[in-house]
Amino acid sequence: MFCSFAGSALAQDFLTITPGELRIAVTRASSTDPYDSQLWIRKYLEKFAQEQALQIVWVEVPFSESWLLASRNAVDIVATNVASFADRQSAGASFSAPFLYERRALRIRPEDQIRYIQISDFVDSTIGVVRGMAAERDVDRRAVPGVNIRRTDSFPELYEEFDSGRLDAIAEAEYYSLDGEVIPSHGDDIVLIDHHDLTPGSREESVFVVSDASLNLLAVLNQFIAMTRFPL
């Protein structure tokens, strides 16, 4: 089932599920939006695969429970921007070193800045979340009575509802490089408010989830992360 050793520019050898291929799960395989974290992740892993002389096979999946795909050997790497929560660990897969971190925030329209400052201001208003994401657990924990929560299965669906006026805010994140620099994820037509850590005093770090059956791939990927700043 698993391939022979693949040559590595990092002077290590490793196995992948299919010889010459690197199967990677993402939530969007074709985004061209420079503000999309999935585009940053894709470009980063494209560089990794190029250095290892591997052909990428993108596997587009819903975010919810996507981290389980590596433990089931459906993919070599899950790259759906998974936070390193203990309840997302599973036998048969391992977390990589972190490549970015996030702080929770609410996306609103610029004209609503006077009306909304923090989550308690959304009584009788609607905040949208994607099922299974850290933003959902954050809003569920912090929302006061009277805040309406709309759950969707994907960010494109969520953004469509926001753009059409059916949502007053979107629960998402501000992204940061590991050295603390903000990674731009929106233009001037968007405002993020109510910045906070999901767990006070602790960074919410994003990782790749790597199949343990892809022998030594984790070590090679971690070495790449240590040598290659995210985003490119």
**pTM to 2 decimal places:** 0.85
Class at the top of the CATH hierarchy for domain 101-196: alpha beta
> How many angstroms separate the CA atoms of 139 and 171, rounded?
7
Query: What ranges do the domains of the chain cover?
Result: 21-99+206-227, 101-196
Q: Which helix (H) or strand (E) holds 159?
A: helix 155-163
What is the mean pLDDT of the segment spanning 18-33? Answer: 90
> How many angstroms separate the CA atoms of 119 and 200, rounded?
16
Check if the beta carbon of residue 8 is closer than 8 Å to that of residue 52. Answer: yes
Quick: pLDDT tens for 35-79. Answer: 889 999 999 999 999 999 999 999 999 988 999 999 999 999 999
Binning pLDDT at 50, 70 and 90, where does residue 12 land?
A: low
Architecture of domain 21-99+206-227: 3-Layer(aba) Sandwich (3.40)
Beta-bridged to residue 149, according to DSSP, are: 127
